[in-house]
Structure 1
Amino acid sequence: MNDIPLKCRCGQVSGIATGLKQKNSNRAVCHCADCQAFARHLGGEALDHLGGTDLIQFSPARLSFSSGQDQVACLRLTDKGLFRWYARCCNTPIGNTMPTPALPFVGIIHSFFDLSDDEYVIIFGPVTGHVFTKAATGDPQEVSMLKKAGPGDWLKLVSLLLSWKMKGDSKRHAFFDSSTGKPIVTAHVLDNGQT
């Protein structure tokens, strides 16, 4: 198992993802309009040339902050959208969660892992699939050749979610207070003109 360092660009926010490996995580690239809007709001560095965000999806019980938790901020693109976490000290995107810890899931954005590109691929393997490719940007021919997430990829993710839920991982969530179930900071909802 791998304990993987996490760090924002300026180094104020850091943490550990404990025991991550390919078997207990999922690597996907999301091209949805909301992920693109979130990345652009923070400067766009998390997007690839086709408007995709490389994410590692895993149980939030495996994530802990070691410094800078006071710099962790949260926004939502709509009042019903995902919670999108970032380091406000340097606008490094951290990841996405559901708006409640009841579904124990976090998608950490590749730029928050303190790993080289080679280390990232060795630990997490290749992208299992691309999702929401209709919103992808760039060369349409290149977009059409992306490996889309298939039924097996979705089944793996659902199986992982169920196992995390059964283990009680919703009670051990770095982004939510374990006693109240409330987020560690209030989520700011962006106005349409802000994205």
Structure 2
Amino acid sequence: MSKDVPFNCSCGAVSGILRDIRPRSGGHLRCYCADCKQAAVWSGDVTPTPDGIHYYQTTPDRIDFIAGLADLRVFKWKEGRLLRWYAPCCGSPMFNTLDSPQWAFASINTERFNDPDALGPAIAYAFKPMPDGKSKTKGYGRFIIGFTRRTIWARISGAWRNTPFFEATGETITPIKQLTEQDRSGVRQPKPV
């Protein structure tokens, strides 16, 4: 059985619905990496959880905005393909996508949902700090298989074209800010778990 799950930024100016969610439509991941935590702080999240950043990864065609889409801002924390979208009204980290609509990928920060339990439990975690000082990733193989399956299906079906984050030309709906080393150095380091 599928369900629609509402989402919004902290102040409610950006809101929408994650449509038609069922077990195979996405996956719930916890990421403990410093980049995700620091990028959240740069966006304006003053209290990122030490329990990792929770994301629900799915395809962009499942995301419908009710309000605030034009207000979203996007940046690259470092060089690479990952784009991080946030609501500047309240600093809420909202989404991650890749830098081309042809990669039908969107992860949504689960703090943006009134009922994150509706997305199911986390099936994977990445870079979780361990007592010996190393980090551990678990369940990632299954997670990558799901990502690959959804991306291929979106390419075959044409659903990759149905994305709120990109224009028909392939450009993002708002200019991408590439953060510099100086931008990143001003962000406080996340506290260890």
Q: TM-score normalized by structure 2?
A: 0.85
Q: Secondary structure at the match of 2:5?
A: strand
Is the 8 Å Cα contact of residues 83 and 98 (structure 1) preserved in structure 2? Answer: yes
2:178 is the alignment partner of 1:189: yes
- In structure 2, how many angstroms separate the alpha carbons of the residues matched to 1:46 and 1:101? 31
Amino acid in the other structure paired with 1:132: F
What residue in structure 2 maps to residue 157 of structure 1?
A: 147
What residue in structure 2 maps to residue 127 of structure 1?
A: 122
Offset, 1:84: 0.4
- In structure 1, how many angstroms separate the alpha carbons of the residues matched to 2:47 and 2:75? 16
Q: Percent identity?
A: 26
2:33 is the alignment partner of 1:32: yes
What residue in structure 2 maps to residue 109 of structure 1?
A: 109
Q: Which has the higher strand share?
A: 2
Equivalent residues, number: 183
What residue in structure 1 maps to residue 21 of structure 2?
A: 20
Q: Secondary structure at the match of 1:185?
A: coil
Offset, 1:147: 6.8
Distance of aligned partners of 1:20 and 1:45 in 2 relative to their CA distance in 1, 3 Å threshold: farther
What residue in structure 2 maps to residue 86 of structure 1?
A: 86
Amino acid in the other structure paired with 1:13: V
- In structure 2, how many angstroms separate the alpha carbons of the residues matched to 1:124 and 1:144? 29
Amino acid in the other structure paired with 2:34: A
Offset, 1:144: 7.3
Offset, 1:163: 1.5
Aligned-residue CA RMSD (Å): 2.2
Greater shift, 57-66 or 146-155, is seen at: 146-155
After superposition, the C-alpha distances for 1:13-66 in whole angstroms (9 at most, x for unaligned) are 11111111222111011223321221121244573214x210000110011211
Distance of aligned partners of 1:69 and 1:152 in 2 relative to their CA distance in 1, 3 Å threshold: closer
What residue in structure 2 maps to residue 100 of structure 1?
A: 100
For structure 1, the residue ranges without an aligned partner over 5 or more in a row are: none
- In structure 2, how many angstroms separate the alpha carbons of the residues matched to 1:17 and 1:194? 32
Counterparts of 1:57-76 in structure 2, within 5 Å, are: 57-76=57-76
What residue in structure 1 maps to residue 157 of structure 2?
A: 167
The structure 1 segments of at least 4 consecutive aligned residues displaced by more than 3 Å after TM superposition are 43-47, 142-147
Is the 8 Å Cα contact of residues 46 and 53 (structure 1) preserved in structure 2? Answer: no
For structure 2, the residue ranges without an aligned partner over 5 or more in a row are: 185-193
